[in-house]
Structures are given as C-alpha cells and as structure tokens.
Amino acid sequence: MQTNMDREAKAILLANDRGGYTIPTEGLYPYQWNWDSAFAALGFAEFDLARAWEELETLFLGQWSDGMVPHIIFHKPDPRYFPGPDVWGGIGPIPSSGITQPPIAPVFARRIYEKNPEVGLAKVKALYPKMVAWMDWFMAWRLDQGAVCTTHPWESGRDNSPDWDTAMNLIDPVDVGEYQRRDLSHVDADMRPKKWDYDRYIWLVNQGRNNDWDQEKLLESNPFRVADPTMTFTVMRAMRDVIALGEIIGADVSKQITDLEVLEAGAETIWNTELGAYDARTVATGSFTGVASNASFLCWYGGLKAERALTRLDKTLAKTPYPVPSHDPDSPRFDAMRYWRGPSWGFMNMLIGLGLEEQGHAQSDQIRLATRRLIGDYGFAEYFNPLTGAPAGGQSFTWTAAVWLTWASPTKEV
C-alpha cells in the first residue's frame, strides 16, 4: 500500500528523468551527477527495473579511457550551470568534469541485480569490466598509505566541509579570473559555499585542465590531497560489491580481494584515537580535522565492525533532533544551514543506517526513523537543518526521493 509520500517520491524521479539519465533537481543541477545517479537508479528499481539499469548504463557511457567515471556528465548544454564543459575541458567520450565522485554505482548495481537476478545477470556482465576499471583507477591514483584521497572538494561530494579547510588554506587562487556563479540564482547564498571556497574550487579545475587531466602530473602539482573517510569507505564498499558481482559471473577477483586488504589497512591511517572517530587527514601536513563529520560514520557501510566508533556516533546522535549532522554542532565551524558545514543529508543517513544494520548495530533504527520523520515533516529537500529540520538547498530532490522509496518510507517495513 503506497502512501502519498511514496507517490510524491516516484513523481519526483519521473519529473527529473531526462531520458536515460536523471538530474538531481531542476535548475540548480541540470546534468547527470555520478552518485546522485546511483541513487536515482535504486529509486527507479522500486517500480521500473529496466529504467534503473538504463541509469547506470548511461552513467558508464561517460567513463574515461583510464577508467575514471566523471562526477558530472554534460549530456546537453545548459547555461544555467557553472562551471560547464568549456571550463572543465574534460577528455572523456562525452563532455564531462575532470574528477570523479564516491563510487555508489557498483554497490547499488548489486542491490538492483538482487531484485531480479535473471534479468540482471546480463546487465552485470556488461557493466562489470567498467566497474573493475573504475576501482583500478582509484587504486592507481587516489591512495595515500592505503586510504583513499580526494583531490578536489567536489570529488568527495562534500563540497565545503570543514574537513578541507587545512588543504584549502594551502591554495592561493591567483589568476582564477572573473566568473559568474549560477547556484546563487537558485538557492539562498547562506545555504551555499562562500566565494572564498569557490575561488579555490575554480583554481583547482583550472589546474586540472591546464595539465590535460594527466593524473601523474596532478599527483605532483596538486596541493589539495586529503585522505577522506567518504572516499575510503565508499571505495571499500564498492570493492566488496565488485568482488561479489565478480563471483556471481565467474570472474577472477583475486586482485580485488588484495585491493580490499590494502583499503582495510588504509582505514587505520584515518582513525583519530583522540577523537574516537575516523577523520579526514590532510596529506601535506599529516594533520587531522579533529571533528567528526557524517562521513566519519560511513565506516560500517564500508564493511567494518567498528565498535570503537559507536561512542562518538551516540554522542553525535544525542546533539540534534534531526541527525546525522554533517559537522559536529559543538564545533565553532558548525553552520546549520550551509551545505556540508552542518546540515543533515537523507542519503548519507541511509548509507550510515544500512552499514549499521549490516554490522548488527541498533543505531540503524534510530537513524532510519529520524530520517523518516525529517522527510515526512519537511519534504524532499536536498538537505536539512539538523536542529530544526528546516529544508534547505534544492527542492524536489532526486536522491531524497530515492531514499524515501527505498529505505525511509514506512512501507519498506512491510
């Protein structure tokens, strides 16, 4: 029995469908975003399995020859977004950005396969080499002591997180030039990154384009490199599911098993004993952020039992009525409405909750119910004030609708 919220969530996915790919929301994000698209696929799988597979197939059409899957694929020109394909100068088969995003697609490909293995087997066989190539790319170009790094705040998906402040301070955005942001015509400036952030975002884009997105050159010249819980745990989880899918189709997964061991050892290098949580580590300085983010709690999603992180999680859950905040509310850098410096995100809650459930931790139910209340009371916003629940960012958002359909709705308990 569908609820009105179920029907509204489905309608949002259909409204944001652009024929083969789904935009996050009208206006603010008019292209195909990598991890948003994976959530769209999972949402479509609730009522249109063929369309779910098509979403993933379209995403991988943008894969570069080196294996990287871009964070934005510019299928059709749209002047409402900056920076567009001309600024990025991507070198893939379809105009795209020059960085990637957390690899959610392999994880959800497995979940979609499990809905109908008979239909999904051929789809998995076709996508599997592409998923392996993406995992190989991460292992070749994004590791530091086995932890996975982000080389641009946008690559992590957590654009203006305080986790990047130390690395961002290493950048002097000289010659960034004049540019016109488009996001502020869609969303209140108090909910978005500041100009200080954007100058450095664009400087990093320019640096990548000027180096033709040569990963070896950028490894030497890019001052922004942060061993990141988001990337470490999402790559770790994707590797686990690539192994599982490989075993299903009879592939040799020995390399992936070895790579997973490297990632698990690498996770130890981002454990901050003083904080009692996994923490972002700036490679250039070796320093931790020192504050728990919602990405700190993706450790269970990554496949770790991580009982030692539960105390910090419980403390964080107790601080806000609408968890999980993207930054600790006790931190002086907390900002309840500014993007990744405080707000709660439904899709992050889902990943955290799924991981906790898989590892047998009861906090999964608490986070799921809090997310149900948050979306049920305040709608399908991009993100939310963790103190008041107030909706923020874009509205009628694809991944929030997908979270409702696949995890938060009370009908998912039936």
Active-site residue list: 159, 382
Q: Which amino acid is at 318?
A: A
Distance CA 277, CA 286 (A): 16
Distance CA 229, CA 277 (A): 10
Residue 255 contacts by C-beta under 8 Å, 6 or more apart in sequence? none
**Which conformational region is residue 58 in: left (phi greater than 0), alpha (psi within -120 to 50 degrees), or beta?**
alpha
Yes or no: say if 334 and 326 are a contact pair by the CB < 8 Å rule: no
Distance CA 314, CA 132 (A): 36
Pinpoint the alpha helices (H) of 116-249: 117-141, 153-156, 165-169, 195-210, 215-221, 229-249
Place of tokens 């999680």: 313
Yes or no: say if 378 and 392 are a contact pair by the CB < 8 Å rule: no
Within 10 angstroms of residue 144's Cβ, the number of other Cβ atoms is 17
Place of tokens 């960085």: 99
N- to C-terminal Cα distance for the chain?
9
Residue 120 contacts by C-beta under 8 Å, 6 or more apart in sequence? 53, 112, 113, 114
Distance CA 411, CA 346 (A): 17
Yes or no: say if 244 and 213 are a contact pair by the CB < 8 Å rule: no
* Buried residues in 68-93 as b, exposed as e (16+ CB within 10 A): bbbbbbbbeeeeebebbbeebbbbbe
Distance CA 147, CA 208 (A): 22
Longest dimension (CA), the chain: 58
